C-alpha cells in the first residue's frame, strides 16, 4: 500500500534501482563470465548501471569477459532501460485486454514527459511495437555486413567472444549491436567499438539510422507515423523542435570536426567525412559508439563533443543529455529577452511558462550533479605515479556518464573504486533525469491553494 502512495517520480527512481539490483546480482555470478572467476562486485554493478542507463561505459571488455548468458543479461538490461520502466509490463497488460492503473500512467507520463494530447495506453503500445520492429530490421541489415566482414572467423583470433561459431555468432552480433544502437547504449562486443568499420558505409549507416531513431524518440516516431497515416494533419511542436535541433546538431558538429580537427585531417577525405559525421552523431544522439579513438581528438573537437553530449537527444527517446527541447526553450527565452518580448515563442508558437520553468530547473539540476560529480572525481582519481588524471579526461568522463553517452578518453578501466561508484550514480541519475531525480528526493507535499503568496520585490540580475 505504501508504494501506491509514492509519487510517479519516486516510483520511477525505485523502478530503475530495482532493475539495477537484479542485474547486479545476476552479473556477479560465475556462470555469466567466460573466465572462471566472476566479475568483482563493483565491476558487475558498474556494467549493470551502464546497461540499465543505456550508457555504454565499462571497465571490462564485454565481448571478452562475459559468456553468452552474461551478454544476454546485459542485452536484457539495455532493452529494459531503453524501453523504460513499466513500459513492457504495461504493454503485456494491454495485450491481455487489461487496463493500466493510474499509477502506471503517472510513471509513463513522468518518464517520457508526455504532452497532454498523448494517451499513455496507445503510446505504450506504439513504443513496444516500434522498438521491436526497428531492432529486427536493424539486425537484418547488419547481418550480411558482419558476415561479409568475416566476423565469425575473427572471433577466434581476436577474442570477440566464443559463445557461438559461424553464422549463429554473426547473427548474435547483429542482434546485440542493433538493440544497443537503437537504445543508444553504445555497448559493443568488439574490443575497439566500431573502429574496425571506420570506412564501412553500410555498417555505420545502419548503426547511425538506428541511433537517430532512438534519439529522436517515441513522440517523434508516433507523430510522424500518425501524420503519414493521415491520423493527424501536422506534427506537434515537440517533434518539430526535436527533428530540427538534433539534425542541425549532427550536421553542424560534423562540419566543425571535419574542418577543424588536426588528427582527422590526416585521413583521406572520404573516410574523414565518415568519421566526422559518425562522431558528431554518436555525441548528439548519446549512443556512444566510436570509429575514431577519442583520446586522439584535438581539444577543439573534444570541447565540441562535450557541448553535443550535454545538449543530448530528444525527450521520450532512448538518448540522454539535457534534451533538445530543453536547450531550445532556454535559447528561446534568451532570444525573447534580447528582442524585448515578454512572450517566449518557438516556431511561431508560445511556450507555456511551466515548460520554461522546467527547462531552467533541468539545467540547474544537471549542472549541480555534473559539478559535484566532477569535483569528487578530481579528488579521488590519481595515476599510478600519483600524478593527477588530466582535468579534460575527468570532465569528459563525467559528462559522458551523466549524459548516458558512453564515450571515454580511456580512463574508465583505471578508475578507483570510489571513482567507479561516482560514475555509477551519474549514469543512473542521467537515465532517470537529473530534474526527476532531484524532485523525487527533494519535493515536498504540495501546499494548499492560495497559501504560497509572497510579497514581491525586485532583484538585480
Q: Is residue 317 part of a domain?
A: no
- Assess whether 146 and 196 both reside in one domain: yes
pLDDT at 87: 66
What separation in angstroms does the CA of 54 have from each of 30, 180, 319, 350, 428? 24, 8, 8, 33, 9
Q: Is residue 241 part of a domain?
A: yes
- Assess whether 299 and 359 both reside in one domain: no
pLDDT at 447: 54
Q: Is residue 456 part of a domain?
A: no
CATH of the domain at 348: 1.10.287
- Assess whether 122 and 83 both reside in one domain: yes
What grid cell was written down for 442? 527533494
Q: Is residue 451 part of a domain?
A: no
pLDDT at 230: 67
Q: How many domains does the chain have?
A: 2
Residue reference for cell 577474442: 159
Cβ atoms of residues 215 and 313 within 8 Å? yes
pLDDT at 451: 54
pLDDT at 149: 73
Single residue among 311, 337, 369 that ends a domain in this structure: 311
- Assess whether 102 and 242 both reside in one domain: yes
- Assess whether 189 and 45 both reside in one domain: yes
Residues of the chain where predicted confidence (pLDDT) is lower than 50:
1, 156-162
What separation in angstroms does the CA of 213 have from each of 113, 272, 282, 304, 317? 18, 24, 12, 22, 8
- Assess whether 396 and 276 both reside in one domain: no
Q: How far apart are alpha carbons 122 and 85 in whole angstroms? A: 16
Q: Is residue 347 part of a domain?
A: yes
What separation in angstroms does the CA of 457 have from each of 194, 302, 450? 57, 43, 19
Going 231 to 235 to 238 to 242, the CA torsion angle's sign is positive
- Assess whether 247 and 105 both reside in one domain: yes
Q: How far apart are alpha carbons 48 and 19 in whole angstroms? A: 9
* 17: three-class secondary structure by DSSP: helix
Single residue among 311, 336, 354 that ends a domain in this structure: 311
What grid cell was written down for 65? 569477459
- Assess whether 347 and 296 both reside in one domain: no
- Assess whether 342 and 249 both reside in one domain: no
Cβ atoms of residues 37 and 70 within 8 Å? no
pLDDT at 376: 96
Max CA-CA distance within the chain? 74
pLDDT at 453: 60
pLDDT at 77: 94
pLDDT at 56: 92
- Which residues form the domain of 367? 324-440
- Assess whether 266 and 365 both reside in one domain: no
Q: Is residue 461 part of a domain?
A: no
pLDDT at 35: 65
Q: Is the pTM of this model over 0.75?
A: yes
Single residue among 261, 276, 311 that ends a domain in this structure: 311
Task: Kindly report the number of other CB atoms within 10 A of residue 174's CB atom.
Answer: 22
Q: Is residue 447 part of a domain?
A: no
- Assess whether 216 and 90 both reside in one domain: yes
- Assess whether 296 and 342 both reside in one domain: no
Q: Is residue 376 part of a domain?
A: yes
Amino acid at each position: 500500500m505504501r508504494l501506491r502512495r509514492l509519487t510517479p517520480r519516486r516510483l520511477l527512481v525505485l523502478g530503475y534501482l530495482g532493475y539495477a539490483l537484479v542485474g547486479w546480482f545476476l552479473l556477479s555470478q560465475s556462470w555469466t563470465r567466460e573466465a572462471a572467476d566472476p566479475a568483482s562486485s563493483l565491476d558487475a554493478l558498474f556494467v549493470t548501471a551502464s546497461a540499465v542507463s543505456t550508457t555504454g561505459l565499462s571497465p571490462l571488455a564485454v565481448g571478452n569477459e562475459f559468456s553468452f548468458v552474461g551478454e544476454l543479461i546485459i542485452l536484457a538490461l539495455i532493452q529494459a532501460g531503453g524501453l523504460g520502466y513499466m513500459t513492457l509490463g504495461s504493454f503485456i497488460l494491454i495485450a491481455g485486454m487489461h487496463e493500466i492503473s493510474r499509477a502506471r500512467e503517472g510513471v509513463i507520463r513522468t518518464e517520457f514527459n508526455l504532452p497532454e494530447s498523448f494517451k499513455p495506453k496507445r503510446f505504450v503500445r506504439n513504443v513496444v511495437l516500434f522498438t521491436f520492429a526497428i531492432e529486427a530490421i536493424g539486425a537484418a541489415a547488419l547481418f550480411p555486413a558482419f558476415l561479409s566482414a568475416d566476423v565469425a572467423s575473427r572471433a577466434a583470433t581476436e577474442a570477440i567472444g566464443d559463445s557461438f561459431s559461424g553464422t549463429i555468432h554473426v547473427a548474435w552480433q547483429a542482434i546485440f549491436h542493433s538493440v544497443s544502437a537503437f537504445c543508444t547504449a553504445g555497448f559493443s562486443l568488439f574490443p575497439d567499438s566500431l573502429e574496425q568499420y571506420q570506412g564501412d558505409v553500410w555498417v555505420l549507416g545502419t548503426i547511425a539510422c538506428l541511433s537517430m531513431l532512438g534519439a529522436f524518440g517515441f513522440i517523434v516516431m508516433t507523430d510522424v507515423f500518425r501524420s503519414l497515416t493521415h491520423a493527424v494533419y501536422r506534427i506537434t511542436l515537440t517533434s518539430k523542435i526535436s527533428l530540427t535541433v538534433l539534425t542541425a546538431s549532427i550536421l553542424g558538429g560534423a562540419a566543425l570536426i571535419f574542418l577543424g580537427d588536426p588528427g582527422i585531417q590526416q585521413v583521406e577525405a572520404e573516410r574523414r567525412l565518415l568519421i566526422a559525421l559518425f562522431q558528431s552523431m554518436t555525441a548528439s544522439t548519446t549512443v556512444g559508439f566510436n570509429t575514431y579513438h577519442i583520446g586522439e581528438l584535438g581539444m577543439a573537437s573534444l570541447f565540441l563533443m562535450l557541448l553535443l553530449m550535454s545538449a543530448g537527444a530528444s525527450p521520450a527517446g532512448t538518448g540522454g543529455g539535457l534534451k533538445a527541447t530543453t536547450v531550445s526553450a532556454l535559447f528561446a527565452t534568451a532570444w525573447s529577452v534580447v528582442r524585448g518580448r515578454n512572450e517566449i515563442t518557438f516556431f511561431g508558437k508560445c511556450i507555456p511558462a511551466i515548460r520554461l520553468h522546467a527547462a531552467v530547473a533541468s539545467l540547474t539540476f544537471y549542472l549541480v550533479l555534473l559539478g559535484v560529480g566532477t569535483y569528487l572525481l578530481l579528488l579521488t582519481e590519481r595515476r599510478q605515479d600519483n600524478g593527477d588524471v588530466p582535468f579534460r579526461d575527468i570532465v569528459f568522463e563525467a559528462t559522458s556518464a551523466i549524459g548516458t553517452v558512453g564515450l571515454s578518453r580511456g580512463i574508465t578501466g583505471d578508475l578507483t573504486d570510489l571513482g567507479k561508484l561516482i560514475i555509477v550514480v551519474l549514469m543512473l541519475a542521467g537515465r532517470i533525469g537529473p530534474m526527476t531525480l532531484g524532485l523525487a528526493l527533494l519535493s515536498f507535499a504540495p501546499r494548499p491553494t492560495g497559501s504560497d503568496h509572497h510579497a514581491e520585490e525586485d532583484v538585480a540580475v
